[in-house]
């Protein structure tokens, strides 16, 4: 366990998929649960489809460290095509887990991971998103999967805080709140632990 109950997340996604948004929503939800949070993307050239990285620190006391996260407890991969080009489990803590957006099961997708022998979790965020939102927005399903696998927040509190957060975020289009809540609930049930 790191100091002050610190749990660190690293997000790998592609520009436009909402990995940064999911990272900031996780920070929001953890803040609402009374935690100290950091949520920040690593800025580079901003273009659709380019690999991006974002980070969360969640702890019981303010964390003064301000650098990228090299030894995360959890890694969330929003786009499985990144597995071909990015060493996503680099530095991942042995008792942590990698959570991948894929239609494949944990054992099948494990073949794509280089030296990682720890936990692999999968969620078909495309299926969840298309069934609940009618379009492909992987960030809400990935967020729910990350929270469930890590156990960083209690389910009921998380769902309640997210509903409030969505009402705020989608103030101009409240019709999408229910779909996003359904996406969280479905992903919570469907995430597979390997």
Partner 1 sequence: MNYNERLSGNEAIAFAMKQIDPDVMAAFPITPSTEIPQYFAQYVADGEVNTEFVPVESEHSSMSACIGAEAAGARAVTATSSCGLALMYEMMYVAASSRLPITLACVNRALTGPININNDHSDSMGIRDAGWIQIYAENNQEAYDNFLQAMPIGEHPDVRLPVMICQDGFITSHALENITLLDTESVKQFVGEYNPENYLLKKENPLAIGPYDLGCHYMEHKVQQAEAMKHAKARILEVAAEFEKVTGRKYGLFEEYQMEDADLALVLIGSSAGTAKAAVDRLRKEGVKAGLIKLRVFRPFPAEELAQALKHVKALAILDKAESFSAHGGPLFSEVRAALYDLEPRPRTVGYVYGLGGRDVTPAHFRAIYARLADIAAGGDLGPVYTHMGQRE
Binding residues vs partner 1 (CB under 8 A): 3, 24, 27-28, 31, 36-41, 43, 62, 64-68, 70
Joined tokens for residue 103 = 């239609």
Output the smallest distance, CB 68 to partner 1, in A: 5
| Contact partners, residue 140, CB within 8 Å, separation at least 6 | 22, 129, 133, 180, 183, 184, 187
Considering beta carbons, is residue 140 or 165 the nearer one to partner 1?
165
Considering beta carbons, is residue 11 or 188 the nearer one to partner 1?
11
Could you tell me if 193 and 106 are in contact, meaning their C-beta atoms sit under 8 angstroms apart? yes
Output the smallest distance, CB 27 to partner 1, in A: 5
Considering beta carbons, is residue 30 or 149 the nearer one to partner 1?
30
What sign results for the dihedral spanned by CA atoms 28, 180, 161, 157? Answer: negative
Output the smallest distance, CB 184 to partner 1, in A: 20
Considering beta carbons, is residue 3 or 154 the nearer one to partner 1?
3
Joined tokens for residue 10 = 């690293």
């Amino acid at each position: 366990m790191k100091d002050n109950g610190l749990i660190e997340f690293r997000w790998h996604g592609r520009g436009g998929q909402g990995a940064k948004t999911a990272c900031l929503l996780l920070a929001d939800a953890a803040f609402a649960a009374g935690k100290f949070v950091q949520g920040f993307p690593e800025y580079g050239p901003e273009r659709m489809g380019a690999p991006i990285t974002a980070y969360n620190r969640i702890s019981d006391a303010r964390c003064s460290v301000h650098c990228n996260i090299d030894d995360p407890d959890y890694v969330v991969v929003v786009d499985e095509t990144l597995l071909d080009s990015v060493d996503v489990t680099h530095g991942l803590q042995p008792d942590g887990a990698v959570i991948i957006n894929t239609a494949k099961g944990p054992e099948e997708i494990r073949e794509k991971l280089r030296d990682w022998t720890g936990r692999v979790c999968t969620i078909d965020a495309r299926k969840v998103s298309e069934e609940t939102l009618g379009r492909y927005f992987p960030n809400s399903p990935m967020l729910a999967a990350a929270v469930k696998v890590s156990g960083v927040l209690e389910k009921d509190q998380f769902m309640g805080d997210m509903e409030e957060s969505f009402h705020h975020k989608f103030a101009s289009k409240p019709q999408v709140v229910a779909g996003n809540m359904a996406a969280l609930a479905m992903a919570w049930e469907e995430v597979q632990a390997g």
